[in-house]
Amino acid sequence: MDNYRPLPGTLLEDLDTPSLIVDLNALDHNLQSVTDLYKDTVCKMRQHTKNIKSPRLALRQINMGGTVGGVCTAKLSEAEVMVEGGVNDVLIPNQVVHPDKISRMCALAKQADIKVCVDNIENVKIISSIASNHSVEIGILIEVDTQMGRAGVRSNEEGVAIAKMTQELPGVKFKGVMSHQSLPEFIDHEDRWKIGRDTIQICLDVKNAIELEGIPVEIVSSGETFTIDVATQIPGVTEVEGGTYALMGHRYDYMGYKIANKILTTVISNPSDCKFIGDVGTSAHSWAGIAPTVYSRTDVKIDKFFENHVVFSTDKANSLSIGDKLLLEPDYQDMLVNRWDQYICVRNGIVEEVWDIPGRGCTQ
Amino acid sequence: MERPIFKDIGTQEIELDTPGLMIDLDFLEYNLNYMNTFIESKGLNVKPYVGAHGSPAIAHKQVEYSSTSGITVSTLGQAEVFAQNGLNDIFISNIIYNKSKIKRLCSLAKNVNITLLVDNLSNAQDLSDAAKFSGVEINILLVIRCYEDSLGVLPGTEAQEICNNLVNLPGVNFQGLFGKYINNYVSESGPEDNSYNVSEFNKKNKESVEFAQKILNFREQIQINGIDVNSVVYGSTYDYLDVASLSGITDIVAGSYALMDAKYKALRTEFKNAARVMTCVTSLPTSKTIITDGGRKAIGGDLGSPEASIKGAIVTGLSAEHGNIEFEWENENLKLGDRIWCIPYDITACVNLHDYMFGIRGGTLESIWNLPARGHYR
């Protein structure tokens, strides 16, 4: 594990490279936007920590406001990190199926309010039995597959059957329904709103079917960054699992949040007139198909990434020099943050704080 | 950090936590032995690239199996970690520019034999000044450039002039030349070039040998001009076989051969796939589809898709936290909690996501190795 801790007051341009930088002004702008948006709405934010991996950052949003007071995490191990970091309400919008892991989840439920998503009756039965042995209660949400073709029930009937079973079993408490949509690109604003509404409606259909059976549905947990605003306009949705919005990637520029996470890199070689090599590659930056953008240098393009190097091309010769530092703004930040152990937090070009990323690598 | 549930040595592999990086120790040892026996039969040395496993334990095994003590890393931070773990002859296959890094490098060189790349005289001068000031010697290899956009200089007058100057600089010890023709990359026009395609394999190997020959010709030229060249460091797991037959190559840098991966599986069949990520079935949405807990963050997907180790099963999608696997048949027998193993597409990308690897022999846990150099990009 790396442990680079530049002193507060260090200038951005004096930092060692490559480094993961967080622009605090941009971050706070993004968090404040959510606080403002959800100020008077029924629907609140349940920040997804897969994109930030830091309880400190999650608590910053919780303290600012607009949230349900808790987070959601990709995995059980990430939930443990959040609880250790002071978050006391965690939803795992994923399946925890192995008995070892369920035991560990039950141990965590002694310290915090833990909820998990299921899409299979057998899974609920095992959670019930282990939770009963531990004398804890695990909140249960039914995951609904709205269009991803991933996990989740695919009919109202399946959802109703699991809800009924959950009602009857000890150690588990039926809480609601959850769905996640993943659509990086939209043709236009209307398209985004239409797809957002249509997909969330599939989840609401399951909720309505369960309620028709006389089972109350307390939580409808939906989504992702692209429906942060859409969800507030859909009656019934109680919370949104936004993740990317906090640190942002250019893929979601249409949402209006600012890019807060950037990679600082140094030019270390100049093989030919308009080609330059930077000291960051796929291992530190990650790659999901689209290159990052070079901050405030429209004349510098990214050609390719090697494992430990990036190749820049410039419009004109000599427009960069060896030793120059550049900031790369990711297209997609989820996999990038997961490669790093610290955020170097910078405001107006000066280091203000260094935050650990204890959730990095928590895939279990 | 990964937070696996740790179990006793001797536990059955399938009882271990998921997703987890599992290493078949018999296969690993087979691969190390195969490579070293071959390379030694050619009178060469292997400088194993330890970024392809990240484990000091494996690095020590590689040294034990070979006739030299040298290893290869890609960053100064990795060199520091491997030095702290007892490796004492380290080639940093990179350029170190920044002044504070050069100070760290000289500090490291007080205890460890360090070799570094240069492609620029002013950088060499900085290294020389710092090394002289610290009273250390740093070994230098000049990088010969094979593409328009890679590190290094073309073999010609500029390179000759750098060599002429290097031999006279105090504190640095000019050792020879370095080249790398096979180099994974990604760009927006596709995941990478098609060098990992079987039909391209012979062509690429031929090109790599031609490029190596250019370096060797340049070596001859500078030797005629009175410069001693001790080393020509070249190659990878991809092209080692052809490169090793060239007279004049002294060291082969190869990494993937130790653990292997899906991209080399069909190309380098003499090595065995020792690394697999064990994942768990977490959802069974249809009779032909399963969802596992192994996604891009556990297996790696930057460069390509992993291979499921069950015949007829294809990894059709890898999201950040999940794997989607489709079967050719109806999977009535699979249940929630069952284990599925995936061979990562690129081993270096995969190990960079893990903090532990679990050594398996005969189906049970024999060792737990940590990967302390992970994340040392600086």
Q: Is A31 within a domain?
A: yes
Task: Report, as an integer, the average pLDDT of B24-40.
Answer: 97
Q: Are A204 and A236 in contact (CB under 8 A)?
A: yes
Task: Report, as an integer, the average pLDDT of B110-132.
Answer: 97
* pLDDT above 80 (res B195): no
Task: Report, as an integer, the average pLDDT of B144-170.
Answer: 93
Statement to judge: residues A233 and A310 lie in one domain = no
- CATH for A206: 3.20.20.10
Q: Are B201 and B207 in contact (CB under 8 A)?
A: no
Statement to judge: residues A139 and A170 lie in one domain = yes
Q: Is A5 within a domain?
A: no
* pLDDT above 80 (res B194): no
Q: Are B208 and B243 in contact (CB under 8 A)?
A: yes
Statement to judge: residues A69 and A126 lie in one domain = yes
- The secondary structure of A279-303 as a DSSP string is S--HHHH--SSS--EETT-TTEEEE
For residue A163, what are its two tokens? 């809800």
Contact A283 B120 (CB under 8 A): no
Statement to judge: residues A243 and A271 lie in one domain = no
The pLDDT, as a whole number, for residue B370 is: 96
Statement to judge: residues A167 and A38 lie in one domain = yes
A183 and chain B: CB distance < 8 Å anywhere?
Answer: no
Question: β-strands A19-23, A261-272: how paired?
Answer: antiparallel
Statement to judge: residues A240 and A305 lie in one domain = no
* pLDDT above 90 (res B72): yes
Computed over its alpha carbons, how large is the radius of gyration of chain A?
22
Q: Is A350 within a domain?
A: yes
Statement to judge: residues A206 and A80 lie in one domain = yes
* Amino acid making up residue A61: Q
For residue A150, what are its two tokens? 């991933």
For chain B, the straight-line distance linking the first and the last C-alpha, in angstroms and rounded, comes to 19
Contact B302 A335 (CB under 8 A): yes
**DSSP-based three-state secondary structure for A47:** strand
Task: Please give the C-alpha separations between residue B334 and each of A277, B15, B316, B327, in angstroms, as whole numbers.
Answer: 48, 16, 18, 11
pTM of the model: 0.96
Q: Are A361 and B354 in contact (CB under 8 A)?
A: yes
pLDDT per residue over B223-235, tens digit each? Answer: 999 999 999 999 9
* Amino acid making up residue A307: E
Q: Is A65 within a domain?
A: yes
CA angle (A289 as vertex; A341, A296 as ends), nearest 5: 70
A52 and chain B: CB distance < 8 Å anywhere?
Answer: no
**DSSP-based three-state secondary structure for B43:** coil
B293-304 core/surface letters (b: 16 or more CB in 10 A; e: else): bbbbbbbbbbbb
Q: Which residues of B touch A289 (CB under 8 A)?
A: 188
- Interface with chain A: mutation pick from B293, B305, B316, B339, highest number of A CBs within 10 Å: B293
Q: Is A4 within a domain?
A: no
CA angle (A120 as vertex; A115, A125 as ends), nearest 5: 70
Statement to judge: residues A245 and A261 lie in one domain = no
**CA A183 – CA A46 distance, rounded (Å):** 19
* φ/ψ of residue A152, rounded to 5: 120, 150
Cis check for the bond before B19: say yes or no (omega within 30 of 0). yes
Q: What is the pLDDT along chain A (364 residues), one digit of tens a residue?
A: 889 999 999 999 999 999 999 999 999 999 999 999 999 999 999 999 999 999 999 999 999 999 999 999 999 999 999 999 999 999 999 999 999 999 999 999 999 999 999 999 999 999 999 999 999 999 999 999 988 888 999 999 999 999 999 999 999 999 999 999 876 566 677 888 888 899 999 999 999 999 999 999 999 999 888 889 999 999 999 999 999 999 999 999 999 999 999 999 999 999 999 999 999 999 999 998 899 999 999 999 999 999 999 999 999 999 999 999 999 999 999 999 999 999 999 999 999 999 999 999 999 9
**CA B115 – CA B70 distance, rounded (Å):** 10
For residue A271, what are its two tokens? 């093989």
Q: Which residues of B touch A275 (CB under 8 A)?
A: 148-149
Task: Give chain B's domains with CATH numbers.
Answer: 13-20+271-370 (2.40.37.20), 25-258 (3.20.20.10)
Contact B322 A150 (CB under 8 A): yes
Question: β-strands B138-143, B113-118: how paired?
Answer: parallel
Statement to judge: residues A123 and A262 lie in one domain = no
* Amino acid making up residue A194: K
Q: Are B313 and B333 in contact (CB under 8 A)?
A: no
Q: Which residue has the tokens 């150690």?
A: A171
Secondary structure of B183-211 in HEC code, one letter for each residue: CCEEECCECCCCCCCHHHHHHHHHHHHHH
Q: Are A103 and A126 in contact (CB under 8 A)?
A: no
The pLDDT, as a whole number, for residue A226 is: 86
* pLDDT above 70 (res B193): no
pLDDT per residue over B285-341, tens digit each? Answer: 988 999 999 999 999 998 889 999 888 899 998 999 999 999 988 877 889 999 999
Q: Is A3 exposed, middle or buried (0-12, 13-18, 19+ CB in 10 A)?
A: exposed
For residue B165, what are its two tokens? 């100057």
**DSSP-based three-state secondary structure for B21:** strand
The pLDDT, as a whole number, for residue A170 is: 98
Statement to judge: residues A48 and A132 lie in one domain = yes
Task: Report, as an integer, the average pLDDT of B89-114.
Answer: 96
Q: Is A74 within a domain?
A: yes
The pLDDT, as a whole number, for residue B152 is: 94
Long-range contacts, stretch B98-101, CB < 8 angstroms, 24+ apart: B98/A16, B98/A17, B98/A266, B98/A323, B99/B126, B99/B130, B100/A16, B101/A16, B101/B76, B101/B378
Domain boundary among A184, A216, A249: A249
Q: Which residues of A touch B322 (CB under 8 A)?
A: 94, 150-151
B191 confidence band (pLDDT: 50, 70, 90): low
**DSSP-based three-state secondary structure for B232:** strand
- Interface with chain B: mutation pick from A307, A328, A335, A362, highest number of B CBs within 10 Å: A307
Which residues, in sequence order, are CB contacts of A343 under 8 Å at separation 6+?
Answer: A20, A21, A22, A54, A57, A261, A354, A355, A357
Statement to judge: residues A70 and A200 lie in one domain = yes
* Amino acid making up residue A347: R
Contact A151 B149 (CB under 8 A): no
**CA A59 – CA A47 distance, rounded (Å):** 10
**CA A340 – CA A327 distance, rounded (Å):** 16
**DSSP-based three-state secondary structure for A335:** helix
A288 and chain B: CB distance < 8 Å anywhere?
Answer: yes
Largest Cα–Cα separation, chain B: 73
Interface of A with B in 200-229 (CB under 8 A): none
**CA A59 – CA A55 distance, rounded (Å):** 6
Return the C-alpha torsion angle A152, A156, A160, A163, nearest 10. Answer: 30
**DSSP-based three-state secondary structure for A32:** helix
Compute CA A7 distance to the chain's CA centroid, rounded to the nearest angstrom.
28
Rounded to the nearest angstrom, the minimum Cα separation between A155 and chain B is: 11
Query: Which among A9, A28, A6 is positioned nearest to A19, based on CA atoms?
Result: A6
Q: Which of B3, B5, B97 sits opposite A322 (nearest CB)?
A: B97
Which residues, in sequence order, are CB contacts of B359 under 8 Å at separation 6+?
Answer: B23, B25, B28, B365, B366, B367, B368, B369
Domain boundary among A193, A225, A249: A249
Q: ipTM, 2 decimals?
A: 0.95
The pLDDT, as a whole number, for residue B66 is: 87
- CATH for A307: 2.40.37.20
For residue A160, what are its two tokens? 């109703």
Q: Which of B335, B353, B378 sits opposite A361 (nearest CB)?
A: B353
The pLDDT, as a whole number, for residue B331 is: 79
A356 and chain B: CB distance < 8 Å anywhere?
Answer: no
The pLDDT, as a whole number, for residue B329 is: 85
- Number of other CB atoms surrounding residue B326 within 10 Å: 16
Return the C-alpha torsion angle A352, A356, A360, A362, nearest 10. Answer: -140
Which H or E run includes A346?
A: strand A342-347
Query: Which among A36, A46, A103 is positioned nearest to A76, based on CA atoms?
Result: A103
Domain boundary among A215, A249, A283: A249
**CA B152 – CA A271 distance, rounded (Å):** 6
**CA B32 – CA A343 distance, rounded (Å):** 38
Question: β-strands B172-179, B138-143: how paired?
Answer: parallel
Statement to judge: residues A62 and A140 lie in one domain = yes
CA angle (B301 as vertex; A327, B303 as ends), nearest 5: 75
Q: Are A181 and A231 in contact (CB under 8 A)?
A: no
Q: Is A268 within a domain?
A: yes
The pLDDT, as a whole number, for residue B375 is: 95
Side-chain half-sphere exposure of B36, counting CA atoms within 13 A: 19
For residue A351, what are its two tokens? 């280091």
For residue A179, what are its two tokens? 């769905």
For residue A266, what are its two tokens? 């140094």
Helices and strands (H, E) in chain B, number of each type = 11, 18
Question: How many structural domains is chain A composed of?
Answer: 2
Q: Which residues of B touch A334 (CB under 8 A)?
A: 320
Compute CA B291 distance to the chain's CA centroid, rounded to the nearest angstrom.
30
Range of the domain at A349: 12-20+257-356
Q: Is A28 exposed, middle or buried (0-12, 13-18, 19+ CB in 10 A)?
A: middle
Q: Is A6 within a domain?
A: no
B90: β partners: B71, B114
